[in-house]
Amino acid sequence: MSEKLLAVIPARGRSKGLPGKNIRPLAGLPLIAHSIRLARLCPEITRCIVSTDSPEIAAVARRFGAELPFPRPKWLAHARTPMWQVLRHALHTVEMQEGSRYDFLLLLDPTSPTRLPQDVARAFKRLKSKPRAAGIVSVSVPEFNPIWHSVVKKNGWMTDLNPTGARFNRRQQAPRIYRINGLLYIWRADFVRKQESWRSRGKHLLHITPDIRAVSIDNQEQFDKTDLLIRGGLINLPWLKKEARHAQR
């Protein structure tokens, strides 16, 4: 019997950084539609649902074939609501409705539309092969190593954010640093059920992706840059090719 993977696309209304971002057109599709289309190309996903408090987002998501088995409660729709609580609620609600249990949970944040089907396939396969791992998280190598970042104190003087950075004179000497990029997160469902947070608990694997696809859209500049990368062919999303073929018929 295959292990069940629940994918959750969380989309809260009333975005502060970029109002209406989840349904803004990106490369010809509403932003949230990219994650919905991606999920439909992933045979590993048993079921994909959208969690939203917004009727407008819900209508767009349904138009692109998404399932919305419940409205997100208002108490989980605040700007400071931890994503982890949204995921736990989604997992619990779906399992109660179905009367069954899932083995894994996949977070597909709509603000990271540049993940590919092979990202999901490879990350899921790796996590299943490592029983001791609680989850797997997508990361990338940043263009500039933050080990040399600085901060300015109240007195106006600059100081190293990481004191160890001063030990390295050349880029090649510094340790490689990865940043969590938001493209995907997969956890064992038992871990989600039992833990109040994922950052302080459990061992996590890394799924490394190219930094050019390490997109997390929170403002207009990031939105426009991502749109240009996709339209310019630097990021190729397979579902857009299907959309183009369908439009030509």
Do 41 and 110 lie in one domain? The reply is yes
Cβ density class 44-82: b for 16+ within 10 Å, e for less: bbbebbbbbbbeebbebbeebebebebebeeebbeeebe
In this prediction, residue 248 carries a pLDDT of 47
Going by C-beta distance under 8 Å and a sequence separation of 6 or more, which residues neighbour residue 192?
84, 87, 88, 91, 105, 198
Rounded Cα distance between 117 and 238, Å, is: 9
Do 60 and 46 lie in one domain? The reply is yes
pLDDT of residue 122 exceeding 90: yes
What is the per-residue pLDDT across 221-237, written as a single tens digit (0 to 9) for each? 999 999 999 999 999 99
Q: For the chain, where are the alpha helices, taking DSSP H only?
A: 31-40, 55-63, 83-98, 117-129, 189-194, 220-231, 238-248
pLDDT of residue 30 exceeding 50: yes
CB 90 within 8 A of CB 49: yes
Band of residue 177 on the pLDDT scale cut at 50, 70, 90: confident
What is the per-residue pLDDT across 68-86, written as a single tens digit (0 to 9) for each? 999 999 999 998 999 999 9
How much is the average pLDDT of 175-189? Answer: 90
177, 202, 232 - which closes a domain:
177
Record the tokens describing residue 88, joined without a space. 């736990």
Do 91 and 206 lie in one domain? The reply is yes
Do 169 and 59 lie in one domain? The reply is no
In this prediction, residue 179 carries a pLDDT of 87
129, 160, 177 - which closes a domain:
177
Do 116 and 198 lie in one domain? The reply is yes
Do 61 and 168 lie in one domain? The reply is no
Do 111 and 67 lie in one domain? The reply is yes
Query: For residue 153, what are the domain limits?
Result: 143-177
The 8-class DSSP code of residue 94 comes to H
Rounded Cα distance between 165 and 130, Å, is: 33
Structurally, how many domains does the chain consist of? 2
Do 94 and 151 lie in one domain? The reply is no
In this prediction, residue 151 carries a pLDDT of 74
How much is the average pLDDT of 140-152? Answer: 72
pLDDT of residue 144 exceeding 90: no
CB 124 within 8 A of CB 104: yes
Q: Which of 79, 10, 81, 75 is nearest to 48 (CA)?
A: 10
Band of residue 163 on the pLDDT scale cut at 50, 70, 90: low
Do 78 and 52 lie in one domain? The reply is yes
In this prediction, residue 165 carries a pLDDT of 52
177, 197, 224 - which closes a domain:
177
Do 29 and 73 lie in one domain? The reply is yes
